Amino acid sequence: MKRHLISAADLSRDDAVLILDTAEEMARVADRPIKKLPTLRGRTVVNLFFEDSTRTRISFEAAAKRLSADVINFSAKGSSVSKGESLKDTALTLEAMGADAVVIRHHDSGAPYRLANSGWIEGAVVNAGDGTHEHPTQALLDAFTMRRRLVGPDAGLGRDLDGRRITIVGDVLHSRVARSNVHLLTTLGAQVTLVAPPTLVPIGVEHWPCEVSYDLDAVLPKSDAVMMLRVQRERMNAAFFPTEREYARRYGLDSERMARMPEHAIVMHPGPMNRGMEITAEVADSPRCTAVEQVANGVSIRMAVLYLLLGGAEPAVAGNRTTGEQ
């Protein structure tokens, strides 16, 4: 594995499977009465958030704490960034504090790449979402959720997503989640179809390793998982569709549409959800929707990523494989 996690495209199939398998071990720890491992004791993880976040920030914090790392949470609001401090000076401050890993979310696409290749900091950089570019740990937790739901955690060899048909629906243009998922899911052998209004399909999508459709109803019966994306109003500087009602009618998932999906198929959403827009409350609250499960799985995935990047030479979970229950 590389030293940083910036893009899902950087992950080979072996890397991705290693992270998913390690996350599976981490998930078993979550079922124990004491959920903490000593693996990253004495290491410092900084969460550097320049953009709003609920799930991702809490999830990285929980992951680092469960591995016994020291965690420093930095949010741009209320910091010297609002006085105009640059990314460089912020990074140098973190370096002075001895950060072993920096988890960064930034409104500019490319900011994590800049941080990783600047020489400003020594530690590992993890991209927690940059602009409309990528969100690799979200794609990993999505793949983990699909693997558990569609293949099963104990399926043994071939536990990846070979031949599974995944449909990603909605505001693909502004979605770093969609970009990272297209890369990772195809690496894991799945077939991805994007469904969106033509105005929300990115330029150059013909070079992406996926299909594009404008007809949700036609694609649903052929899907093993349907991932609904949030309509990202904060990134829209123009009108991309006539009205919310029109959008919901053509591209929203309601119970009637969900009934077109095969019985085993799941509905996913990275959150935050616009209930009534891309997904109805009824679908969001149905047992087929994995949104809450995705959040829980996110902690296991981020534990695995931090553990693998910070290079624990010893097994992450001593109990299961070597020295007996911990």
**What residues are designated binding site for L-aspartate?**
83, 176, 230
147 versus 179: smaller Cβ distance to ligand NCD: 179
Question: Based on CB atoms, which residue is closest to ligand NCD, 24 or 278?
Answer: 278
Choose, by CB under 6 A, the member of 177, 192, 227, 306 that binds ligand NCD.
Answer: 177
SS3 281: helix
Strand-pair partners of 279: 253, 275
Our finding on whether 170 is near ligand NCD (CB under 6 A) is: no
How far is Cα 184 from Cα 179, in angstroms, rounded to an integer? 9
For ligand NCD, which is the closer residue by CB, 28 or 55?
A: 55
Whole-number minimum distance, CB 230 to ligand NCD, in Å? 3
Please tell me whether residue 95 adopts helix, strand or coil conformation: helix
Least distance in angstroms from the C-beta of 310 to ligand NCD: 22
Question: If we measure between CA atoms, which residue out of 200, 203, 192 comes closest to residue 166?
Answer: 192
Q: How far is the CB of 182 from ligand NCD (least distance, A)?
A: 14
Residue 243 φ/ψ, nearest 5 degrees? -145, 165
| Residues flagged as binding site | 55-56, 83, 105, 135, 138, 176, 230, 271-272
Residue 55 interacts with ligand NCD (CB under 6 A): yes or no: yes
Q: Does the footprint of ligand NCD cover residue 107 (CB under 6 A)?
A: no
Which residue type does 179 have? R
Minimum CB distance to ligand NCD smaller for 93 or for 208:
208
Backbone angles phi, psi at 275, to 5 degrees: -65, 135
Q: Which residues contact 223 (CB under 8 A, 6 or more apart)?
A: 165, 166, 167, 193, 261, 262, 265
Residue 176 binds ligand NCD, judged by CB under 6 A: yes
State which residue has the least CB distance to ligand NCD.
Answer: 230
Q: What is the C-alpha separation between 225 and 35, in angstroms, rounded?
A: 30
Q: Is residue 47 involved in binding ligand NCD (CB under 6 A)?
A: no
Which positions from 221 through 280 interact with ligand NCD, judged by CB under 6 A?
Answer: 230, 232, 270-271
Establish whether the linkage from the previous residue to 272 is cis, with ω within 30° of 0: yes
In the complex, least distance from residue 226 CB atom to ligand NCD, rounded to whole angstroms: 16
SS3 249: helix
CB of 214 to ligand NCD, least distance (A): 21
Q: Radius of gyration over alpha carbons of the chain, in Å?
A: 20
By CB neighbour count within 10 A (0-12 exposed, 13-18 middle, 19+ buried), where does 290 fall?
buried
- Binding site residues for carbamoyl phosphate, as ranges? 55-56, 105, 135, 138, 271-272
Judged by CB under 6 A, which of 112, 129, 170, 197 binds ligand NCD? 129
By the rule CB under 6 A, 56 interacts with ligand NCD: yes
Cβ–Cβ < 8 Å for 121, 115? yes
In the complex, what is the shortest distance from the CB of residue 13 to ligand NCD, in angstroms, rounded to a whole number?
A: 24
Task: Map residues 289-308 to x or -, x wherever contact with ligand NCD holds by CB under 6 A.
Answer: --------------------
In the complex, what is the shortest distance from the CB of residue 325 to ligand NCD, in angstroms, rounded to a whole number?
33
Q: Is 106 in the site for ligand NCD (CB under 6 A)?
A: no
E-strand ranges in the chain read 44-49, 70-75, 101-106, 124-130, 165-169, 191-195, 211-213, 225-228, 266-268
**Which spans of this chain sit near ligand NCD (rule: CB under 6 A)?**
55-56, 129, 135, 138, 176-177, 230, 232, 270-271
